[in-house]
Structure 1
Amino acid sequence: MTGLRERKKRATRDALMTAALRLALERGLENVRVEDIAAAAGVSPRTYNNYFASKYEAITARHTDRVRASVAALRARPPDEPLWDALTEAMVRPWAEHAGTTDTPPSPELLAAIRMLNDEPALRAESVRVAFAVSGELAAAVGERTGIDPGRDPYPSLVAVTAAAAVQAGVAHWLRSDPPVPLVPLLRDCLRALASGLADPTREGDDSWTS
C-alpha cells in the first residue's frame, strides 16, 4: 500500500500537471510561466522545481504516466491472453480512464486548443524526449510476456515502438477529425489494425524473431 507521503507527492504532481495543461490551453503556452502553474496548484515555485524542470516537462509528463500505466496494465493482464489483445487493452486503458467516457467526441473548441498546443516546437521536442525515455519500459514488459529478451532480440522493442506509434497516429487523426470523433474507439481500432499485420510469435509458430 502506498504511504501517505507518497500519496501527497503524487497529488501535488497531478495538480501541477493539470494546472500546466489548463493554463496552456486557456492562455497559450507562451503566456504561461512556471510561477503561474505553481500558484494555480497552490504551491511555491521552489516546490514546482522539485517535480519538473520546465513547463514543457509538466505538460508532457502525462505521456510518461500513460506509458507507465500501460506497462502496469500489461503486466496485470491474464497470462494466457494473446499478446496483441493484452497490449491493445493495456495501451487504451490510461486514455479511457482519463476520458471518463469512451463514446463522446470532444468539443470543437477543445480540439482547436489542443491543436494549437500540439504545434508548439518546444513541446514537440519534449514529447520526443519523453517517448524515448519510457519506450524501454514497455519493451521490457513485452519481453516478459513473450519470454524474449529485449537485449538479445529486437522483437519486444519493435512491438513497443510500433504500438506507441499506433497510439500516436490515432491521437493525430483524432486531432484532425472534422467532425470530432471519440478518441478511445479510434485508438483501439489503430492497435487492432497494427496487430493484424504484426504477428505474435508465441501464437503463430513463427520463430523468425527469436534468438
Structure 2
Amino acid sequence: MLGRMTMLAPDDARPAPDLRTRKREATREALATAAFALATEHGLDGFTIDDVARRADVSRRTFFNHFVSKEEAVTAVVRLRVAGLLDEVERRIAAKSADPRPDARQHREVGEAIMADAVHTLLAADSVATFRSLIALTEASPELVPHLAGIEHEAGDRVVELMRGQDESVPPVHAVYAFAIPGAVMATVGAVYSRRLHVREVDGDAPGALALDDVIAELVHLIPAGDDCTGAT
C-alpha cells in the first residue's frame, strides 16, 4: 500500500513546498479525488478521462500531465492518502526520537511507538473505508489490481524505513527484523482492509472482532528486546 524519508528531529523538518509545488499537488489531488469518486459512482468503465478533467475543473491535457491512465488516477487517491498518513506518523515519531544516544530500552520504546502510530493511522475508520472501496473496485475491475499491489508495496517500504531509521535519532533494527516486522504489520492491515480480520473500532461487534489495541499489543511482541533491538551481536 508511498518518497524516501529520513527521520529528523522536529527542528530539522523539511521546508514547506513552494507555491508552484503546492498548486501542482492540489491539482493532482483534485484529479485523483474526481477519478475515485466517478469510479465509485459508475464503475471503472462508466466514465471517461474527459469526465475526470471536467469534474476537477481542468483540461484533458492537464490530466495527462499527472496521470497516464484512468486506472492510475483512480488508485492515486489512496496512494496520496497513505503517503499523507505516513508523513504524519513520521512527524510524530521525530518528536519522540530526540535523544541522540538512546539505550536498548529506549530503542524498543520508540519502536513500539512507531508500530502503534503506523497501525492506528492505517486502520483509522476513514482509511479503512477508502481502502475497502478500492478493493471493491478491483473486484469488478481486475486491471486495478497491479496498482493496488503497488500501493501496498510502497506502504510496506515506508514502514520498513520507519522501523529501520535513517540516522541515530531512530532505533536501528536488525536487517531481518526491519523487513519481517513491517511485513507482519502490512499483512495485518491488509487483512482488516479485506475483511479477513475485524477490529471493533471499524467493524463494531462483527464476530471475532478484536480491539485495535489488542492487535497492536500482539504485533509489539515481534519487536526484539535488549541488544537484539539494536542489531548487536
TM-score (normalizing by structure 2):
0.67
Does residue 6 of structure 1 match 2:21?
A: yes
Q: Deviations over 1:32-85 (max 9, x none)?
A: 222211111111121111111222212222333344334433433212544233
Q: Aligned pair in 2 of structure 1 residues 111, 208: CA closer, same or farther (>3 Å)?
A: closer
Does residue 49 of structure 1 match 2:64?
A: yes
- 1:99 aligns with 126
Q: Using CA pairs below 8 Å that are at least 6 residues apart, which structure has the higher relative contact order?
A: 2
Q: Aligned pair in 2 of structure 1 residues 175, 89: CA closer, same or farther (>3 Å)?
A: same
- 1:36 aligns with 51
- Between the aligned partners of 1:176 and 1:31, the Cα distance in structure 2 is 32
How many residues align? The count is: 193
| Displacement after TM superposition at 1:12 (Å) | 0.8
- Between the aligned partners of 2:147 and 2:231, the Cα distance in structure 1 is 34
| Displacement after TM superposition at 1:154 (Å) | 2.5
- 1:117 aligns with 137
| Displacement after TM superposition at 1:210 (Å) | 2.9
- 1:142 aligns with 163
Aligned amino acid, residue 162 of structure 1: A
Does residue 195 of structure 1 match 2:219?
A: yes
- Between the aligned partners of 2:156 and 2:132, the Cα distance in structure 1 is 29
- Between the aligned partners of 1:6 and 1:126, the Cα distance in structure 2 is 24
| Displacement after TM superposition at 1:139 (Å) | 1.2
Identity of aligned residues (%): 27
Are the counterparts in 2 of residues 16 and 58 from structure 1 also a CA contact under 8 Å?
Answer: yes
Q: Aligned pair in 2 of structure 1 residues 123, 209: CA closer, same or farther (>3 Å)?
A: farther
- Between the aligned partners of 2:211 and 2:35, the Cα distance in structure 1 is 25
Are the counterparts in 1 of residues 86 and 121 from structure 2 also a CA contact under 8 Å?
Answer: no
| Displacement after TM superposition at 1:20 (Å) | 0.8
SS at match of 2:52: helix
Aligned amino acid, residue 99 of structure 1: D
Q: Aligned pair in 2 of structure 1 residues 143, 114: CA closer, same or farther (>3 Å)?
A: closer
Which consecutive residues of structure 2, in runs of 5 or more, have no partner in the other structure?
Answer: 1-15, 98-105
- Between the aligned partners of 1:136 and 1:115, the Cα distance in structure 2 is 20
Q: Deviations over 1:84-127 (max 9, x none)?
A: 3332223433664x839x9xxx7xxx999666413121112211
Question: Considering only aligned residues, what root-mean-square deviation do their CA atoms show, in Å?
Answer: 3.6
Aligned amino acid, residue 2 of structure 1: P
Are the counterparts in 1 of residues 31 and 73 from structure 2 also a CA contact under 8 Å?
Answer: yes
Q: 1:127 aligns with which of 141, 148, 154?
A: 148
- 1:156 aligns with 178
- 1:166 aligns with 188
Are the counterparts in 2 of residues 174 and 181 from structure 1 also a CA contact under 8 Å?
Answer: no
Q: Aligned pair in 2 of structure 1 residues 187, 55: CA closer, same or farther (>3 Å)?
A: farther
Which consecutive residues of structure 1, in runs of 5 or more, have no partner in the other structure?
Answer: none
SS at match of 2:195: helix
TM-score (normalizing by structure 1):
0.72
